[in-house]
């Protein structure tokens, strides 16, 4: 089954609704330049109020010290860190106590075999945009065929209720990641959009299981 991550959560009510609707993971953005930024205090309160069986993912960009980043993640109760900067394979390998999701920006220069240098990890493939994610831009999915051979693949970048069935049918990713596609404005989630997005993913999975 395709996992769903609702990213850029900035309010507890949105996190609660996402979980109740069936989201597997919640993304909390710790990059100060993001319109979806949350500080540690607010993130901690969101995490504390949510029930078990939810995966909490922190989004970071070029944090200078991987050990300090790991300590910060553990202190908040994050299960994974999602790295959107220029973090090298060596940097990623220094983080051992929480899972690492390495975000890769896909454009015409992207090569699937570049994932090999990071080992058999988890990769979020996103559109190449100035804002480092959450732009609502879709990349050319043809550029990432075969990515599943190099690890667990999460697709992001302009996903919506309308196009998420196509990306699941085309790429069969481990998960899909959505922010702007389920928002009324940056950082504010829309309940109906989240509901319809998650239902679209679940319906597509059921159809795939029934396919001959």
The domains located in the chain, with CATH, are: 3-210 (3.20.20.70)
Q: What is the pLDDT of residue 130?
A: 65
Q: Which of 7, 14, 24, 177 is catalytic?
A: 7
Query: Are the C-beta atoms of 19 and 54 separated by less than 8 Å?
Result: yes
Q: What is the pLDDT of residue 90?
A: 96
Q: Could you give the CA distance from residue 188 to residue 160 in angstroms, rounded to a whole number?
A: 16
pLDDT in tens, 18-58: 999 999 999 999 999 999 999 999 999 999 999 999 999 99
Nearest to 199 by CA among 151, 162, 156: 162
107 catalytic residue (yes or no): no
Q: What is the pLDDT of residue 128?
A: 79
Q: Which of 14, 17, 24, 126 is catalytic?
A: 126
Q: What is the pLDDT of residue 120?
A: 84
Any bridge partners for residue 37, and if so which? 29
Q: What is the pTM of this model?
A: 0.95
126 catalytic residue (yes or no): yes
How does DSSP assign 85-112, residue by residue? S---HHHHHT--SSEEEEEEEESTT--G
Is the pLDDT at 212 greater than 80? The verdict is no
**φ and ψ of 96, to 5 deg:** -115, -25
């Amino acid at each position: 089954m395709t996992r769903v991550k609702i990213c850029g959560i900035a309010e507890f009510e949105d996190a609660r609704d996402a979980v109740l609707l069936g989201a597997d993971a919640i993304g909390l953005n710790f990059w100060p330049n993001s319109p979806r930024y949350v500080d540690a205090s607010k993130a901690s309160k969101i995490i504390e109020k949510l029930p078990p069986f939810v995966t909490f993912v922190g989004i970071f960009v070029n944090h200078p010290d991987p050990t300090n980043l790991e300590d910060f993640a553990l202190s908040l109760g994050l299960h994974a860190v999602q790295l959107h900067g220029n973090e090298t394979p060596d940097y990623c390998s220094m983080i051992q106590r929480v899972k690492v999701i390495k975000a890769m920006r896909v454009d015409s220069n992207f090569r699937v075999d570049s994932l090999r240098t990071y080992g058999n990890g988890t990769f979020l493939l996103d559109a190449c945009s100035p804002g480092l994610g959450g732009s609502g831009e879709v990349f050319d999915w043809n550029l990432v065929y075969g990515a599943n051979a190099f690890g667990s693949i999460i697709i992001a970048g302009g996903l919506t209720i309308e196009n998420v069935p196509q990306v699941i049918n085309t790429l069969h990713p481990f998960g899909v990641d959505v922010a702007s596609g389920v928002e009324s404005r940056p950082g504010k989630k829309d309940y109906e959009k989240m509901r319809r997005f998650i239902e679209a993913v679940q319906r597509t999975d059921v159809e795939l299981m029934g396919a001959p």
